[in-house]
Structure 1
Amino acid sequence: MSSDPSASSGAPDPSQWEEMLRSLFGADSEEALRELRARGFDPQALAAGSGFQNDPQMLQQVLDQVKRLLSASGGDPVNADVAHDVARQVAVAEGDPVLTAKQVREATDALSVADLWLDAATELPPSGGTRTAWSRSEWVEQTLPAWNALAAPVAASVADALAAVLRDQLPEGGGLEGMVPGLPPGLLGGAGPIDPTQMMRQLGSAVFGMQIGTAAGTLSREVHGATDIGVPLLTGPATVLLPTNVAAFTKDLDVPAEEVRHFLALREAAHARLFTHVTWLRGHLLGLVEAYARGITIDMDALESSLRDVDPTDPEALRGALSGGVFGLHSTPEQEATLLRLETVLALVEGWVDEVVARAALPHLPHTVALREMIRRRRAAGGPAEQTFASLVGLELRPRRSRDAATLWSTIDGQVGSAARDAVWDHPDLLPSTLDLDDPAGYFTRRDEVSEEQSDVDRALAELFKDGDDAQDGEAPKG
């Protein structure tokens, strides 16, 4: 039986306290500890006087939290480390079993077959990337950088707002002493002066990291591949299936598991073809998301109200406060135009995939019509993670008009064939508009009118240039 009083009381011994403090102060630990002892605080006394002597784990959490605030560096609006840690925790919360060799083989085989079937439905060639199977954790690792980038513009705006609203909650002089109950004066002396505004930005960055991590981790339990969100999340070509999620999706369906797997593989491969070979599409989509997010206004009154009673040293409390409506309710005309363009492109992507996959699947999969309708409803309804992302970035990544877009692509295919249908993706200026989604049958009439107007302009320009050439040759211009 130990005679150490700290062991019997449940508190750590002095060496453990010293180790915690050395971890907190880093390179300045020896100087900080000497200063503490000079002021009459030794590790044992600190343990007894901190208020956490019966809960050393709680003090460790507080010290770790303060250390992160003091050591955070860089100006990124989203704390990628926090996002990563939270996303991994959420991803495995409901289990993330290691994939078996059989699951990997079934997934890659389905993706290979999908490319063969798609060759008969679209002129766009296979993406050419790897075909693989991922666990939920692997999905998080591969897609999280894209989520951080998507949230960065609005995160920067919220960080500015946080700095403005929470600045007044700091103690006089801007120091951290007194913000953490139980820490004696001088404890943080070795850490140097703390800029309150910078600390608020770091808090905001950590809060957004939590939000992004939660959204990405939740999505990792819902998605079937790397592309079915509708926004390209990978920088290079690849097709992926998540066997665990595919199996969960199949469980409640009265459809053979193999058929479901092939249908989802078709969707994944079709998205990958589009994002790979329509080279401008990825940048165009992400540019619209960024333009929209940068135009978001922060409702300062709502933000201040939600944060009024929040402890500024508690990132979890901040995360809860920022989950509500801190975004301005009134969009500018420029934002509304950007949002309309974004929603139209998202719908066109989803509609093209929907139409191409249906054509590729019908000769091979008996339940194509039912599976198509099920995916349509699933995409239209969204899920908790998409709602979280909407509250986080102020943007819903659900194509509201994908059915109209699918009808439009079918109309184009029926009149001019799949080659001309796919050629519409050659340039963003060729993309159908919201008018075309409203009236798919009138698409070609409107295109003919635009073509006629362009021809008139071309003829007028040609005549103008001809007159100019005649004048240079000494002939008087006509008219």
Structure 2
Amino acid sequence: MIDWNVARSTARRLMRPGPELSGAEVQDVVAELREASRVAEGPVREFTGLVPAYPTPVLVVDRPRWADANLASFEVLLRPLDAKLTAEGKMPTGLPGAVGSRVTGAEFGAIVAFLGGKVLGQFDPFAEGEAGPGRLLLVAPNIVHVERELDVDPSDFRRWVCLHEETHRAQFTAVPWMRDHMLAKVDEMMQATDIGGGAVTGMVTEALPELVRIVRGESDKSLSDLFQNEQQRAIVDQITGMMSLLEGHADVVMDDIGPDIVPSVAEIRRKFTKRRGSGSALSKVVRRLLGYEAKMRQYSDGAKFVRSVTDQVGKDGFDAVWAEASHLPTRAEIADPRSWVARVHG
């Protein structure tokens, strides 16, 4: 379905260069990010109560290596869809299949290239390691670019970023079912894919008016929203609830722990939040189409959920979210924390 070699070469070709750094500066940034990750690990564990079950590597990477890592994970995640289409005889073969896979590879690579200039860090739960699954990626050029753009203390900003990413590492390595649950939801999404007959044509016809609204900024949807069937929308609602929880929880942790190890945390948060809403008109359109704007709302909506639930039932009551998958909030419960408290705590 996707030519991954084309995707990788396209991503690398379209990837914008990062800030100019000398060899010595690169070494300093890499060393400080690794140290910042180490410094953040203990406070995150103490604050959250999430103790990782096994160690995972911390990789400080450039933009092309981040793209390669994410394309490798996407390739793993999309294998069930490939298998489904092949089993149903819907996978194009011969010349049409070869051309189609190269086109989708180029499209996928272009999307990853766009995102590769924006991601500061990421815990990849799908990579297999010697001790267990997962690895933490810190994208050095993006971190340097943003700290310069915001004009904030570099050491403070690097620790602040690492607080967020270390929280994600704890969420996936301390909660034993989290990774498998996410994989299961992605697999459900793939199995619910309806390709063939008039399915695609019908979806495109119905999607065109909404696509215009997205470009104009009149809709909260993204391109992926337009091409989901009812079953997939229900699954996406569950995934959105989970991701809003994880991102919001990480934001709460980084801001609440921040004052202890990041002296300028208030200035960083203020400037960073302002930056999230900025950008050129074209950039904003692309972000809306790719769902990047919706991703940004997960941080704020999730953080409000975490704080509201903690205010209502305390930290121990909030920690019920880690007990089992059925305790994860839905998309609707993220917006209405009291309904989650009522469902889980009675």
Settle same-fold status: TM greater than 0.5: yes
Residue 241 of structure 1 aligns to a residue in which SS? strand
**Whole-angstrom CA distance in 1 between matches of 2:288 and 2:185:** 16
Name the structure 1 match of 2:59.
Answer: 132
Task: Return the structure number with greater relative CO, CA threshold 8 A, min gap 6.
Answer: 2
2:72 aligned with 1:145: yes
Name the structure 2 match of 1:24.
Answer: none
**Whole-angstrom CA distance in 2 between matches of 1:225 and 1:125:** 20
- Give the conservation status (yes or no) of the 8 Å contact 2:203–2:227: no
Return the match for 2:233 from 322, 336, 346. Answer: 336
Residue 409 of structure 1 aligns to a residue in which SS? helix
**Whole-angstrom CA distance in 2 between matches of 1:398 and 1:199:** 37
Return the index of the structure with the highest Cα Rg. Answer: 1
**Whole-angstrom CA distance in 2 between matches of 1:106 and 1:348:** 29
2:186 aligned with 1:289: yes
Q: After superposition, where does 1:388-467 map in structure 2 within 5 Å?
A: 398=295, 400-414=297-311, 416-441=313-338, 443-449=340-346
- Give the conservation status (yes or no) of the 8 Å contact 1:133–1:243: yes
Q: After superposition, where does 1:101-116 map in structure 2 within 5 Å?
A: 101-116=27-42
TM-score normalised to the size of structure 2?
0.74
Name the structure 1 match of 2:108.
Answer: 212
Name the structure 2 match of 1:91.
Answer: 15
Q: Which runs of 5+ in 2 are unaligned?
A: 206-221
Please list the CA deviations of residues 227-278 of structure 1 after superposition, one character each: whole Å capped at 9, or x if unmatched.
3xxx745343333322211110011213211111110111111111112222
Deviation at 1:139?
1.6
Deviation at 1:436?
3.2
How many residue pairs get aligned? The number is 316
TM-score normalised to the size of structure 1?
0.56
Q: Give the stretch that moved more between structures: 231-240 or 103-112.
A: 231-240
**Whole-angstrom CA distance in 2 between matches of 1:263 and 1:327:** 31
Whichever structure has more helix as a proportion of its residues is 2
- Give the conservation status (yes or no) of the 8 Å contact 1:91–1:218: yes
1:384–1:204 CA distance, 2 compared to 1 (3 A): farther
1:232–1:217 CA distance, 2 compared to 1 (3 A): farther
**Whole-angstrom CA distance in 2 between matches of 1:367 and 1:156:** 50
**Whole-angstrom CA distance in 2 between matches of 1:415 and 1:387:** 38
Return the match for 2:95 from 199, 216, 219. Answer: 199
Name the structure 1 match of 2:171.
Answer: 274
Q: Give the stretch that moved more between structures: 372-381 or 199-208.
A: 372-381
1:95–1:152 CA distance, 2 compared to 1 (3 A): farther
- Give the conservation status (yes or no) of the 8 Å contact 2:15–2:113: yes
Residue 121 of structure 1 aligns to a residue in which SS? helix
1:388–1:448 CA distance, 2 compared to 1 (3 A): closer
1:378–1:300 CA distance, 2 compared to 1 (3 A): same
Deviation at 1:86?
1.8
Please list the CA deviations of residues 84-119 of structure 1 after superposition, one character each: whole Å capped at 9, or x if unmatched.
222222336567866732122111111111113213
Q: Give the stretch that moved more between structures: 257-266 or 420-429.
A: 420-429
Name the structure 2 match of 1:363.
Answer: 260
% identical aligned pairs? 24
**Whole-angstrom CA distance in 2 between matches of 1:417 and 1:249:** 35
2:161 aligned with 1:234: no
- Give the conservation status (yes or no) of the 8 Å contact 1:223–1:245: yes
Q: After superposition, where does 1:253-332 map in structure 2 within 5 Å?
A: 253-297=150-194, 300-301=200-201, 329=226, 331-332=228-229
- Give the conservation status (yes or no) of the 8 Å contact 2:237–2:330: no
Letter in 1 for 2:127: L
Residue 48 of structure 2 aligns to a residue in which SS? coil
- Give the conservation status (yes or no) of the 8 Å contact 1:123–1:419: no
**Whole-angstrom CA distance in 2 between matches of 1:420 and 1:352:** 14
**Whole-angstrom CA distance in 2 between matches of 1:428 and 1:219:** 29
Please list the CA deviations of residues 340-377 of structure 1 after superposition, one character each: whole Å capped at 9, or x if unmatched.
11111111111111112222113332432443455556
**Whole-angstrom CA distance in 2 between matches of 1:386 and 1:110:** 34
1:377–1:297 CA distance, 2 compared to 1 (3 A): farther
- Give the conservation status (yes or no) of the 8 Å contact 1:271–1:353: yes
Deviation at 1:81?
1.5
Name the structure 2 match of 1:81.
Answer: 5
Please list the CA deviations of residues 187-237 of structure 1 after superposition, one character each: whole Å capped at 9, or x if unmatched.
xxxxxxxxxx4221121211122122222233222211233xxx7453433
**Whole-angstrom CA distance in 2 between matches of 1:94 and 1:364:** 27
Q: Which runs of 5+ in 1 are unaligned?
A: 1-76, 164-196, 306-324, 450-479
Name the structure 1 match of 2:47.
Answer: 121
Q: Give the stretch that moved more between structures: 152-161 or 353-362.
A: 152-161
Letter in 2 for 1:234: A
